Amino acid sequence: MIQSKRFDPLLKRAQDHEDEVARDLAERQRTLDTHLSRLDELRRYAEEYANAQMAATSPAQLLNRRAFLDRLDSAVAQQSQTVNSNREKVEAERARLILASRDKAVLEQLAASYRAQEKVVTDRRDQREMDDLGARRSRQAQRDDSDTGGIA
């Protein structure tokens, strides 16, 4: 088997791995985008609720309002943690994709190197065969000339 052909299954696996990691990264990015959107919505809602004016509020209503604002702040903080966690996951997947791409590139370069070496060997062999054929024809022509005594 030609040396460069041995790399074909490895290159296919490397490409498949890179594609899989890219899909994982895209999925993680979509998840991050969803969590970012939720965080923005929560922040807007909390800000709107905090800025809303309430008419004739009793102490109980003020306590309820404060408790609700505290729960909103807690939800915003929790969503922020989720966003940060998802950002870390996206960065980890991005690093995996870079490594997978590098691995594939190394294999591609190695396979290309082997193909170039094989081409040199093939070209030399073809040239040798052409030289041998030319030499045989030349010797045959000399023999034919000597057999006919140089009469043409």
pLDDT averaged over 10-residue windows placed end to end, the chain, 152 residues? 81 95 97 97 92 78 89 96 97 97 94 92 93 89 77 56
How far apart CA 125 and CA 133 sit, in angstroms, is 12
What does pTM read for this prediction?
0.72
How far apart CA 117 and CA 148 sit, in angstroms, is 46
- 111 within 8 A of 12, measured Cβ to Cβ: no
C-alpha to C-alpha distances, 30 to 27, 78, 90, 98, nearest whole angstrom: 5, 19, 10, 19
3 state SS of 57: coil
3 state SS of 55: coil
